[in-house]
Amino acid sequence: SQRKVLVAGGAGYIGSHTAKLLHSNDIEPIVFDNLVTGHRSSVRWGPFVHGDILDTSGLTRTLMQYKPDAVVHFAASAYVGESVEDPAKYYRNNVIGTVSLLDACRQAKIDKIIFSSSCATYGTPQALPITETTAQQPINPYGRTKLIAEQVLRDYATAYDLKYVALRYFNACGADPDGELGEWHEPETHLIPRALLAASAAISHLGIFGDDYDTEDGTCVRDYIHVTDLARAHVLALEHLINGGPNLAVNLGTGRGLSIGEILKAIARVTGRQVPVDINPRRAGDPPALYADPALARETLGFSPEYSDIDTIIRTAAPFFGLESRA
């Protein structure tokens, strides 16, 4: 019979792109989402169940009803700044929510889970690129909740025979190349969408958080990876678990770091628009440079990015901001 996957948080940015790709790989995505940050209109490739992962019995009922082969767990709060202001929300949704989801999986006898982790679990690394053995020393509550959830997964795997892949995303960006889904956060805090909003004059300018870092052009360096590449890594992780592969925690990045200056140049190159900028003070908790060593994801999952060159990222994201791309 057809494979099925429960996608917790499947109405959100990365979750909805993953649901679409699962469907195109002949796997039915059952989206379970509380729609606090997700969008009902982004659920288009399978059934939708409106619910909260903190409701363990509701989630258990859904799992018993659909009997999925695995769970992909995206449901979380994901604003670093907000996690500093309101850590209770983050520990509840991200830590207690993950425990609740894992307990529902145990009750429904679902033993495979793919978890959305983050490069925020590494904090400010001692050395670059970041490998999976780089010490995980998060510098904000968001990163701590993701690290704790990874540790919960590991302990549950040992005790209850759960199989998991934890995917440590670097900077997710871009949009569905078919134009069916985009990046749609409220409020929008992420660099590339804000830069495109400024390029289209929807906001007056992009505020750059510091230009006096010890980097090539003084702005922060990040590893920007296309959301469709992230989505494909979930399909590969699912195949890995179904084929009996071992538990894993892997980085999902390109191995290349780009400064904010390089992003703005790419926007000018691809859209023909200059991004008006202002230099603001540094944002608290921003490490100067982060980029992944992508070798383990390649070796264990056969993953390598296809859409993550910066021009493709900008070209796929631009239409959602009313911007055209040059050929």
Which residues partner with 246 through β-bridges? Answer: none
Nearer to ligand UDP, 13 or 307 (CB): 13
Nearer to ligand UDP, 61 or 185 (CB): 185
- For ligand UDP, the closer CB: 32 or 224: 224
Is 66 known to be catalytic? Answer: no
Interface with ligand UDP includes 189 (CB under 6 A)? yes
* Residue 78 contacts ligand UDP per CB under 6 A: no
The yes or no reply on residue 209 touching ligand UDP (CB under 6 A) is yes
DSSP string, 89-100: HHIIIIIIHHHH
CB nearer to ligand UDP: give 53 or 220. Answer: 220
First to last CA, the chain: 44
* Of 189 and 200, CB closest to ligand UDP: 189
Closest alpha carbon to 45 in 65, 61, 60, 24: 24
* 226 belongs to the binding site for ligand UDP (CB under 6 A): no
Q: Is the peptide bond before 193 cis (omega within 30 degrees of 0)?
A: no
Minimum distance between the CB of residue 110 and ligand UDP, rounded to whole angstroms?
A: 30
Does position 94 bind ligand UDP by CB under 6 A? no
Integer Cα distance of 168 and 134 in angstroms: 12
Min separation Cβ 323 and ligand UDP, Å = 17
Separation CA 43–CA 74 (nearest Å): 14
Tell me the two tokens of residue 131.
Answer: 């490998």
184 scored as a contact of ligand UDP (CB under 6 A): no
Helix axes 191-199, 260-271, angle to 10 degrees: 40
Is the CB of 68 or the CB of 143 nearer to ligand UDP? 143
Q: Which residues, in sequence order, are CB contacts of 289 under 8 Å at separation 6+?
A: 128, 213, 215, 220, 221, 222, 257
The active-site residue out of 66, 90, 142, 164 is: 142
Three-state secondary-structure class, residue 179: coil
Q: Which of 73, 112, 144, 194 binds ligand UDP (CB under 6 A)?
A: 194
Return the exposure string of 161-170: e unless at least 16 CB atoms fall within 10 Å of the residue's CB, then b.
ebbbbbbbbb
Residue nearest to ligand UDP (CB): 220
If one asks whether residue 215 binds ligand UDP (CB under 6 A), the answer comes out as: no
If one asks whether residue 171 binds ligand UDP (CB under 6 A), the answer comes out as: yes
Decide: is 220 part of the binding site for ligand UDP (CB under 6 A). yes
Q: Which of these ranges, 3-11, 48-56, 184-192, 246-254, lies near ligand UDP under the rule CB under 6 A? A: 184-192
- Closest separation in Å from C-beta 65 to ligand UDP: 36
User: What are the DSSP E strand ranges found in the chain?
Assistant: 3-8, 27-33, 48-50, 70-73, 112-118, 163-169, 171-173, 206-209, 221-222, 224-226, 248-252, 258-259, 277-280
Binding residue for ligand UDP, selected from 107, 283, 295, 304, defined by CB under 6 A = 283
- Could you tell me the two tokens for 108? 């429904």
Q: Which positions are annotated as active-site residues?
A: 142
The residues that touch ligand UDP, with contacts defined as CB under 6 A, are 80, 171, 189-191, 194, 206-209, 220, 222, 260, 283, 286
